[in-house]
A = this chain, B = another copy of it.
């Protein structure tokens, strides 16, 4: 079994975090972990090959955004919420909120009018 490197809290770099979050696939993964909690790679709802997903998971882990633990054949990913909040207060929340606002707006734009009962 391979041991996975996670950076210490103090070594989490702002530019690395912002870069990791700037990819649509990774941002989606982060949003999903935030709403659903810890989950295995296979449950991420992203339309990419598993090798690509594995690489994205690594990018998030090495940036200090996620923690990965092994359970059987699975790798369970979760957000390092406390570490991120301690190091960059308010950043994760602002990103997640921005992601949600943007998503809502896109959904609203797709509808022609405000339907009473959709």
Contacts and interface: CB of A to CB of B under 8 A. Distances in A.
- For the complex of A and B, 10 pairs with smallest distance between CB atoms: A88-B98, A19-B22, A18-B22, A90-B94, A91-B94, A94-B94, A14-B98, A18-B21, A18-B18, A15-B22
Interface in A89-104: 89-91, 93-95, 97-99, 101-102
9 contacts: A10-B105, A14-B27, A14-B95, A15-B22, A16-B22, A18-B27, A88-B101, A89-B101, A90-B93
A34 interface: no
A11 B24 CA distance: 16
Contacts of A101: 87-89
Copies in the assembly, this chain:
2
Interface residues of A, number: 26
Nearest to A84: B98
A4 interface: no
Nearest to A109: B10
A13 interface: yes
